[in-house]
Amino acid sequence: MTASRDRARMVERQLRARGIEDERVLAAMGEVPREEFVPELLRDRAYTDMALPIEEEQTISQPWIVAAICQAMELEGSELVLEVGTGSGYSAVVLSRLVSHVVTVERHELLSREARERVAALGAANVELAVGDGSLGVPERAPFDAIAVHATAPAPPPALVGQLAEGGRLVVPLEAGDADVLTLYRREGDRLEAEPITPCRFVPLIGEGGFES
């Protein structure tokens, strides 16, 4: 009951009150038990408005950032979505309630394995997990209607841009001095239209289309 109450409070105070208006996103965030995705010692902080550390020196993003990424992708329910950076698996499970199918890629095998267990336990059968260089996408599953990147890149990774469907949306944090900038790109033919969303802070995107390790 405590977690359910904390989750409802998170939705109203952290998300709706700060500009998350997509009711489908709010509902998904209100359904997924975030406490199942954080280390046991941090479960009492699962619904605080902050990122939390997980294994492999990675993080689970603060709830507002997860919701903002989902809202920016303008999801209606029938989409095939690529997620780069599975991490704990939390965002993938939230997305599973918003789209037809999620392909999520993680470069750390341990994180992917543990995320797989959580995804299965929560019955998110439309989530497909893979291990590899997420900056290269998953070309054999493209094109994607939307792509969410949970790590800061120096620029939109070319491989991901190439795997966007016409009219597709790419949400990616970009390196920008003291703070990264979460940015939405829309593909219109050969053009990318950019729209900044918010300052943010993510771990770096390591890979061929990101930064060197």
What are the structural domains, with CATH classification, of the chain? 53-200 (3.40.50.150)
Distance CA 94, CA 63 (A): 11
- The low-confidence residues of the chain, meaning pLDDT below 70, are 1
Percent of the chain with pLDDT over 70: 100
Tell me if 209 sits within 8 A of 159, measured CB to CB.
Answer: yes
Give the side-chain half-sphere CA count within 13 A for 103: 21
**pLDDT digit string (tens) for 145-183?**
999 999 999 999 999 999 999 999 999 999 998 889 999
Catalytic residues: 61
Through-space distance between the first and last CA atoms of the chain, rounded to whole angstroms: 42
